[in-house]
Amino acid sequence: MLIYIIKRLLLLPFLLLIFSVIAFLLIQAPPGDFLTSYIAELAASGSSMERAQIDALRALYGLDQPMYLQYFKWMGRILTGDLGVSLDWQRPISELIGERMGLTLALGLGTFVFTWLIAIPIGIFSATRKYSFFDYFFTVFNYFGVATPTFMTALVLMWIAFKYYGVSVTGLFSAEYIDAPWSWDRVVDLLQHLWLPVVILGLDGTARLARVMRANLLDELKKPYMEMARAKGLSEWRLVMKYPVRLALNPLVSTIGWYLPLIFSGSVIVATVMNLPTIGPMLLRALISQDMFLAGTIILFYMMLAVVGTLISDILLAWLDPRIRLDEE
């Protein structure tokens, strides 16, 4: 088991190296360098930058040097913990991301827990009562869940809340708590706002996971050991929960690898629509204003989340299913 984990961990720096190159190429993708467009923007708005300041920025990012040197410079700074300064916000990038990291993680993990708590019971229920009214109901629900873009759900719910209850459900805090220091009341306020985006983001995933769970469980329910256990006189409920559900969960664990990153990257849109103070809307703004180093850092952050998600699912799966870890060793 330990060898397996170490093997997976050794792969990590290699993956991050590739991802950092991809993120860097994305930064470089817009035509012209970002400093030129920034200066043009400043000039358009009537203000200007001092020559010395421009030269200092040019030297800092190595803009006059070839591409690979720029990459090493960027990587070198990131590895020493210096993420640079956002031109758009005029603040250190580490500070900007740090502020929003906690809420981003809370939203993502909250969604994750919500989907699993809802999807697994639905999956079990639909599989054990195959072709019942509830099974059909959830099948229809799942089809709609997959077909509805998350931002549509968000917009419709926002409209209903506004039209019928007169409340505006944007943001994650009430007005009086936005800049307040952390306190118990602020946490309660956060939870009162967080559940709606969690439900919206979770619907899509719930539909998918419930389908996977139902299919897995249906495969297990056909197997002979079920007859055997029934013949032994085990009650149906205990029987289902004890054997087939545990087996059916294994493939579900392997979905964490792609599902966790999907939640985080999918939250970008819902967060933008609902105006949540997470990293997503910041990425959109950075991309539109060509604040490319901020955008690159955020993309790198999302990539890291994806890697961590895969890692967690691999380790969990190896822990749950001995066939996998024995195979690898």
Partner 1 sequence: MTSQTTLSSEARENVKDEAFDVAPNWKLVWWRFKKHRLALVSAFVLFGIILIALFPDFFSIQDPNKSSARESFMPPQGISFFHDGSFQVHVKPLKGKRNPTTLKMEWGVDKKRILPLRFFTSGYEYEVFGLFKTDLHLFGIEKPSARNSFHLLGTDRLGRDQWSRLMHGTRVSLSIGLVAVGLSIFLGILLGGISGYYGGWPDLVIQRLIEILQSLPPIPIWMALTAALPRDWTVEQTYFAITLILSLLGWTTLGREVRGRFLSLREEDFVMAAKLSGCSQSRIIFRHMLPTFTSHIIATSTLAIPVMIINETFLSFLGLGLRPPAISWGVLLQEAQNLQSIALAPWLLLPGLAVIFTVLALNILGDGLRDAADPYS
Q: What is d(CA 120, CA 136) in angstroms, rounded to the nearest whole number?
A: 16
* Burial status of residue 131 (CB atoms within 10 A of its CB: 0-12, 13-18, 19 or more): exposed
Least distance to partner 1 from the beta carbon of 55, Å? 26
How far is the C-alpha of 195 from the C-alpha of 175, rounded, in Å? 17
Whether residue 245 contacts residue 217, with contact meaning beta carbons closer than 8 Å, is answered with: yes
Nearer to partner 1, 53 or 168 (CB): 168
Q: Which is nearer to partner 1, 198 or 270 (CB)?
A: 270
**What is the nearest approach in angstroms of partner 1 to the Cβ of residue 180?**
24
Q: Considering the complex, what minimum distance in angstroms separates the CB of residue 51 from partner 1?
A: 28
Calpha distance 105→239 (Å, rounded): 37
- Contacts to partner 1 by CB under 8 A: 15, 18-19, 22, 26, 29-31, 143-144, 146-149, 151-152, 155-156, 158-159, 162-163, 168, 170, 257-258, 261-262, 264-266, 268-269, 272-273, 283-284, 287-288, 290, 295, 298-299, 302-303, 305-307, 310
Beta carbon nearer to partner 1, 104 or 239: 104
> DSSP letter at 81?
T
Task: Select 133 or 184, whichever has its Cβ closest to partner 1.
Answer: 133
- Nearer to partner 1 by Cβ, of 118 and 311: the residue is 311
**Which class for 318: exposed (0-12), middle (13-18), buried (19 or more C-beta within 10 A)?**
buried
- Cα 277 from Cα 106, distance rounded (Å): 12
Instruction: Indicate the residue among 228 and 288 with the shorter CB distance to partner 1.
Output: 288
Q: Measured on CA atoms in the order 161, 162, 163, 166, is the torsion positive or negative?
A: positive
- Closest approach, Cβ 107 to partner 1, in A, equals 15
DSSP per-residue letters across 220-272:
HHTSHHHHHHHHHT--HHHHHHHTHHHHHHHHHHHTHHHHHHHHHHHHHHHHH
Phi, psi (degrees; rounded to nearest 5) at 180: -70, 150
Nearer to partner 1, 22 or 59 (CB): 22
In the complex, least distance from residue 38 CB atom to partner 1, rounded to whole angstroms? 15
Q: Which two tokens stand for residue 248?
A: 């059916």
CB of 245 to partner 1, least distance (A): 25
CB of 263 to partner 1, least distance (A): 10
For partner 1, the closer of residues 148 and 250 by Cβ is 148
Other beta carbons within 10 Å of 70: 18
Q: How far is the CB of 50 from partner 1 (least distance, A)?
A: 28
Between 1 and 147, name the residue whose CB sits nearer to partner 1.
Answer: 147
Closest separation between CB of residue 288 and partner 1, Å? Answer: 7
Question: Of 329, 311, 325, which is closest to residue 11 (Cα–Cα)?
Answer: 311
Crossing angle between the packed helical segments 184-221 and 244-254, to the nearest 10 degrees: 120
